[in-house]
Each structure stands twice: as structure tokens, then as C-alpha cells.
Amino acid sequence: MLKPQLQQASQSTKTLIPWSTKPFIFGEILASFPINILNKNIGQKKKKNFRVHYNAANSTKAVLTSTEKSTVKAVVTVQKTVNLNISRGLDDIGDLLGKSLLLWIVAAEFDPKTGLEKPSIRTYAHRGRDVDCDTHYEADFEIPEDFGEVGAVLVENEHHNEMYVKNIVIDGFSHGKVNVTCNSWVHSKFDNPQHRIFFTNKSYLPSKTPSGVKKLRERELVILRGDGFGERKQFERIYDYEVYNDIGEPDGEGDDGIRSVLGGNKELPYPRRCRTGRPRSKKDPLSESRSTFVYVPRDEAFSEVKNLTFSVNTVHSVVHAVVPALESMVSDPNVGFLHFSAIDSLFNVGIDLPRINNKSGLMNIIPRLITAVFDTQKDVLLFKTPALLQRDKFSWFRDVEFARQTLAGLNPYSIRLVTEWPLKSKLDPAVYGPPESAITKELIEKEIGGIMTVEEVIQQKKLFILDYHDLLLPYVNKVNELKGNVVYGSRSLFLLTSDGTLRPLAIELTRPPVDDKPQWKEVYFPTWHATGDWLWKLAKAHVLSHDSGYHQLVSHWLRTHCCTEPYIIATNRQLGAMHPIYRLLHPHFRYTMEINALAREALINANGIIESSFFPGKYAMELSSVAYKVEWRFDQEALPANLISRGLAVEDPSAPYGLKLTIEDFPFANDGLVLWDILKQWVTDYVNHYYPETNLIESDKEIQAWWSEIKNVGHGDKKDEPWWPELKTPKDLIGIITTIIWVTSGHHAAVNFGQYSFAGYFPNRPTIARSKMPTEDPTPEEWQCFLNKPEEALLKCFPSQIQATKVMAVLDVLSNHSPEEEYIGEKMEPYWAEDPVINAAFEVFSGKLKELEGIIDGRNADPNLMNRNGAGVVPYELLKPFSGPGVTGKGVPYSISI
């Protein structure tokens, strides 16, 4: 009897491979003799294969080997689709024939005897049972005893349609189940014959990657980078860079759609977006042509079922159905609201709309906006009463609320400490007029009752400013040429009172020289006489429009959505899918690129919602580019550094979180610093686990290439700035990662989910001022009209009916949490659960976020904190981590997904 492991090999002996895969060679015979053996310890069937190799050319030499095999089962979970096209029928037939998915199991390590890759094991997965909204595909593999651990699974989709694969679980190994998290669209082999690569949930630094999957790790990155050529197709997963050259519509009628290219030049620098490869415009070769399809890498798009309910679809519906319906009802787009009761009617009567086509789908998406009135066969746009209005109908009218919202409102990123006096512009006086502010020492000391000098107020850190003077002044004259759009350079001063609240002191509005007119500037104060009081209200309306535009274009769009996209692109291009930092960042990037693509299509585009309803008009995106140029610094996107840079905090080791706040009752900073500290501790635990030694950072080629690409390509217009952090130590990486995570979670939540609560009643935050101040070169008739009907002057200054209602509809959906929202720390990523140390760190992280909920509730109940507690005051909840669905004014998702 032949012994199983006896080998008598010669140079002429061929490598033994299964008969089914070996081509027939004349004179060579290969036979396999299967013997089934039951392994009682593991409880699975083992198969012993005896292989006899006889070489007819040398009958004296023969090989006899045996290998034991185990049967393991793979279950692939695929999300059901609602695709009903013709090829769906072909796919169903393929399922019946058992040819749905072709799978390869790849060994993690090389064969230790040969130093070569172990042969991957291939089989088809057959459609199994349906579970809820998923379909299971099952496959049985015969695994050699010496196969070792699984490193990856390759997938080929035999269907004609793409499939959304959620995960793969392989059961039957002696060492337990193997989990492979996918959450990815897998293209049809008929679109692209290249199979997909999915790695197991174990994370590895590049230097520690198992030998059997090193090449796959490198190959996957090559695929994701692409070659930089051609128009991208929907099924592709290629991440590449492009400037913002698709905002305009130069091929439209006239020149109204032409916009400057942002990025790639010193005058208008900008972060990079994802390259789509669409053809260039016919009229403007520097700009990309527009189309109804805006490419994003396929895995950045929503899964099909999620897309039916997620907020991006809601935004699309509002922009493409509700807004056109509104516009069709308005004969004159410049008509404003004739009285305040007309504004109130938006919340209790609504606006009759024409019947909207395909309303059944629309009603499923935005039922809180569109109400059907069946007896009149009309649709009614009925807005929900915003939280601010519910609490106090007249709060928007009062100075205390105007000041409070700089600390606990929608844009807490603009208020800063005054450190120098007198106030002075840095712009060229030859172009913009005298640089000195009209707010003098005498005026301020008069306003504070002579109890302190200006020098003493500044020394005691009690004087604060909203300063939009130098940013806006260069745009004043060209914006004012646009119909129904007036802007000034503005400064607003506030005094910190003994009870911790801010009191408005003065507003300065400035117009530079124009035509034959010299510079015009005027200062307005809260007063006790009627004329001055109405002028003060009008000046506040102008400042609030500046703050609204800055908030939307800079604090919100630029600093979160726009600046994050290069991080996403670099992460996918330079960090392998097995990299622990890739897996840490991945949930913070979900869906951002898709929502950004939608914004370029319908919100920030030429003549889109922002341009038609916010004060910079057609210069909106250009203004955000200027803000990026003069204000944006990566190192100051970290919350502590941002507060310090604005004079709102100083370093103090004895203070909580190492910072002493200049304004102790600063709700955004108070809650934000707790959240920042929780995030930083989580990142610290995570990074230190994977980088226990300092030298691992500099030797990690992927992480170094990632950071270099963010600086030199994604934010390449600022690559030479000296403030970019170095990446040499785990501490450096912790700071960089915490900053990115803060921007995508806490920062975005603070400036996004309160939009409807604070701006849904637009007199509180008008997005545009349509008329100049009555005191700017008035005619006798204009001045008399103001004196006779000051309320009418304020209503004319506010946005028009169509501007206000369009913005309100969009802000409602932008403030909305979908039922599937993924809140920070709520669910553990499968990759994190794989490692016991990371699992434990996440449990601590999640527990601290739950504690933060209670901390915020306690602060909001404290009557001593007057910036978040008081009669009619909206409690500050924007940084509460968790929320239910809808417009709640709280909740911090992982990512910028709306």
C-alpha cells in the first residue's frame, strides 16, 4: 500500500493541481482518490485527497501525496434592489442556474515551504433565502488543511446589473468565523471584467500586511486612483482631483451663466473636488460642461434602498419640484411681503401650489412640507413653526437675541475678541477710501455710560466684534449693481456684561467710493427714540444678511463640505482598505461626496438657490474662495486652536480641557470642548494601539503619502503655507485625525442642523438685504417715505416672497435627520469590533457621548447660564450627540451627509 506523504520527485515532475483545472498532457496521468474522514473535534467533514502522478517518460519516478480538506460555507449578504429593467430578468435566470456570484478565497500568507502565493479557491455562490431587505447567496468551499487564515475574498458579479454587497461571512474554520465587511456596489462583469477585492475585517499597517494580500492591497489602490483620463462612468470607483470649474453654465443663453474657475490659481484658490471627466464647455474651454449626471465614485453614492428615504433625495425633490412650483405661482419675483401677518401665514395657512407631477413619490419624501387639500384638489406648502418662533414670537426683534445668537446660534464661528484700537481696515485706501472706522473711542465710551475707557474694556477682554468689513467691502459696488441686492462692509460691536451676556453697542456700515461719490460710512446705535430705533433695526437686518451669507458660504459650505472632499479623495487613493486609519475615517466620510455633487448641481451653481437668495448673488462662490484665501488654515480648524485664534480662549493647564474661555457662558464652546475632548481621547486610544512606536509613523508609506497628497494636491493652492502640521509622531497624527473628525461631525452639526430652527423664520436671519439704508444719500421723498412707514421699509429690505420661501423649503430639508441617520458613537464599525482593544476603547467613547447628553441637559436647565436658559430662550442642543428623525435641532452624525 502506498504511504500518503511519500514523495519521490524528479526535475521532470509537474506541480500537482486538481484534475479539473489541469490541461491534459499526453503520456501524463493524474488520478485523485477522495476519502471522507469525520473530524469529531471540529464537527465538520474533512476530505482526504490522494493524488498519484505518473510520468510516462520516466516510469521509475512517481509522486504520491495526500491533502486534507475542510468544507466551509460563505454567506454573501446582498441588499435587494428595485431594479425592474429587462436585464433583471436575465439576472433572475442566472440565479436559478446557480451562477450569480463567482467567489475566490485568498490566503492571508504565502506558502512557507515555497515562499509563493497559495492558490486561491474558487466557486459560485448560489442564491439562497431572503432575509428582510437582503438576499443571501451561499457557497461551499473545499479548503486545504494548510490554507491558513483568509486574507481577502474576490467577487465577480455575474449579473447584468450591479449589486450592493453588505458583507461576507465564512463559517467552518477551526479558528472561528471570518468576517468581511463590504458595504459596496459591485459592478457587473459585463461593465467591467475586473473582479472586486474585499479584505477581511482585520486591520494592518502597510509594513504588517500579510504576505498573501500585499499585492492585492497595492492593486486596489492603483484601481482607485485611475489614470486621470476619460469621462467617468457611473459604476466606476475612481478618485481623482479637479478644480471647481463646473459651477457656471457658460453654454446657456447669454453670459449670465459664466462663472470664474475656483482653484488652481493664486487669485481664486480653492480646495479640489472629485474629477468627473465631463467634456469642456463649448464657450469656455476652462470650464466643464454640465449634465444631469454628476459622477461620484460608486461607493460614495447611497445604496439603492437608502436613497429612497435619505435626505439627499429630499433636497433633490425640493429643488426640482417644489421650487419650480413656487416660481410658477409668482408673477413678480421681486415682490416682498406686504405685512408681517403675511409672513405668519406661511406657518398657519400655507401657499397654494399647482398640482405637482409624481406627487405620490414626493409626498413620501417630504410630507412635512407638502400638505394635500383633497377637497380643493390643491397642494399646499405649509411650513412648520420653527423652534425660535414657538418659544418667543418676538425674540427676533430684540437686541438680546441678536447678541445671544452669536454665541448660541447658527454661526458661532464669526464672533471674535477686539484686541486693537482704533479699528482700522487693511484694504488699500486709494481704492476703498479712508481705512479708519467711524466707531470712535468717544462713541463707545458714551454707549457704555463712561464706566470704563475703551482701553480698559479691551484690557479686560470685554469688547467683541462681528467683522465683515474687509471681506465684503471689495464686493460692495459690484454686488450693488445686481437688481434687488445691497451689501455694505460691516462691523458690529458687543460688550460682555457682568451677567455673562453680550450687549450690542454699535453697527458700522460702509460703502466704498463709487462713480463720483466718496466713501460713505455711518454708525448706528440702539437708541430710545423712534427714528434711531428703526434705523438700528434696518442696520441689524443688513448685518444679519452678511452673517447668513458668511455662515452658509464659509462656516458651512467651505469649511465642512468643501474642505473635507480632498480628505476623502486622498484617503481612498493613498490608504489601503486594510489600513486602520482608513477604517477609522471611513464612517466620517459617508455620502459627503454625493451631497457635494448635488450642491454643485443645484444649490451653489450659477443662478441656483444660493445665488438667487443670498446677498453675494452671482459672486457667492467667488467670495467663499476669497475667504479660503485669507482665512482658512488647517491648524485652526481644530476647535481649541480656533477659539484661541479668535481671542475667545487662552491656554490654561489648570482649566478644563486646558483652555480658559474669555466668555464663560459660550454654549457652542462649552459643549464643543467636551465633544472635542471625547473625540481626541478616542482617536488617541485608536492611534496609539496601531502605532505603539514613534518610528512606525514615518515608516508608514501610506500615511505619509496620504498627508502629503492632502497638503500638496487636495489643498494644493495652500501647499506652501508654513502652518501645515508635520506628521512624524503618533501625537501629530492624533491632532490631524481629531481635527478632520471634528470638522465632519461636531463643526458640521453645529452649523447645519439648527438652520430651520433659527432661520426658518427669515426675519430673524434674512439671507439678503434688498434696499439701501435710508440714510445713504436719500432723496427727500425716500426719507419721508421711511419716516411715514418704517415697517414697510424693513419689509422691503427683507428677502422677496420667492426668495424667502425657496430658502425656507431648502433649510427645512437641510436641517432634517433621516430615519437612517448614523450618529457618532452610536454603532460600532465591524472593523473596530474585530480588535478587543479597539472594541473596549469604543465602548468608553460611546459611554462618554451618552454622558455628554446629560451634561448638555444640565447646562440648559441652569438659570445662571443666560445664553442658553431663560424666558423664551431656545436651549442649545446642537451638539447633543443623538437625535430622533426629523428637524430636531440636535444630533451629531458621523459625517457630512446632508
Interstrand relation of 378-381 and 370-373 (parallel, antiparallel or unpaired)? antiparallel
CA dist 220 → 201, 216, 577, 820 (Å) = 16, 6, 8, 30
Distance separating the N- and C-terminal Cα atoms of the chain? 72
- What is the tally of helices (H) and strands (E) in the chain? 31, 22
Of 121, 678, 856, 898, the catalytic one is 898
- Cell numbers linked to 174: 477551526
Interstrand relation of 370-373 and 416-417 (parallel, antiparallel or unpaired)? unpaired
State the amino acid at position 452 in one-letter form: M
Distance, in Å, from the CA atom of 196 to the CA atom of 847, rounded to the nearest integer, reads 37
Distance, in Å, from the CA atom of 309 to the CA atom of 315, rounded to the nearest integer, reads 11
Helices marked H in 335-398 — which ranges? 340-348, 359-365, 387-391
Of 469, 579, 747, 748, the catalytic one is 748
34: CB partners within 8 A, 6+ apart: 47, 48, 49
136 catalytic? Reply is no
Output the DSSP codes for 401-418.
Answer: HHHHHHHHSS-TTS-EE-
703 catalytic? Reply is no
For cell 481623482, the residue is 240
CA dist 11 → 26, 466, 570, 651 (Å) = 18, 84, 49, 74
Of 752, 764, 816, 867, the catalytic one is 752
Of 469, 542, 556, 747, the catalytic one is 556
For cell 451562477, the residue is 99
Distance, in Å, from the CA atom of 609 to the CA atom of 596, rounded to the nearest integer, reads 14
Candidates 503, 516, 446; CA nearest to 477 is 516
CA dist 202 → 108, 149, 285, 832 (Å) = 11, 11, 47, 9
Candidates 653, 670, 660; CA nearest to 864 is 670
Put residue 567 in one of left, alpha, beta given phi > 0 → left and psi -120 to 50 → alpha: alpha
Distance, in Å, from the CA atom of 228 to the CA atom of 290, rounded to the nearest integer, reads 19
Candidates 360, 353, 358; CA nearest to 377 is 353
Distance, in Å, from the CA atom of 348 to the CA atom of 98, rounded to the nearest integer, reads 58
Helix (H) or strand (E) holding 231: none
Contact between 508 and 491 under an 8 Å Cβ cutoff? The reply is yes
Contact between 224 and 217 under an 8 Å Cβ cutoff? The reply is no
748 catalytic? Reply is yes
Give the number of other Cβ atoms within 10 Å of residue 884's Cβ: 10
What size, in residues, is the chain? Answer: 898
556 catalytic? Reply is yes
State the amino acid at position 440 in one-letter form: T
Of 561, 588, 747, 817, the catalytic one is 561
Contact between 570 and 714 under an 8 Å Cβ cutoff? The reply is yes
563-574 helix and 214-225 helix, angle to the nearest 10 degrees: 140
620-630 helix and 530-550 helix, angle to the nearest 10 degrees: 80
546 catalytic? Reply is no
Contact between 444 and 506 under an 8 Å Cβ cutoff? The reply is yes
Contact between 291 and 278 under an 8 Å Cβ cutoff? The reply is yes
> Which residues carry out catalysis?
556, 561, 748, 752, 898
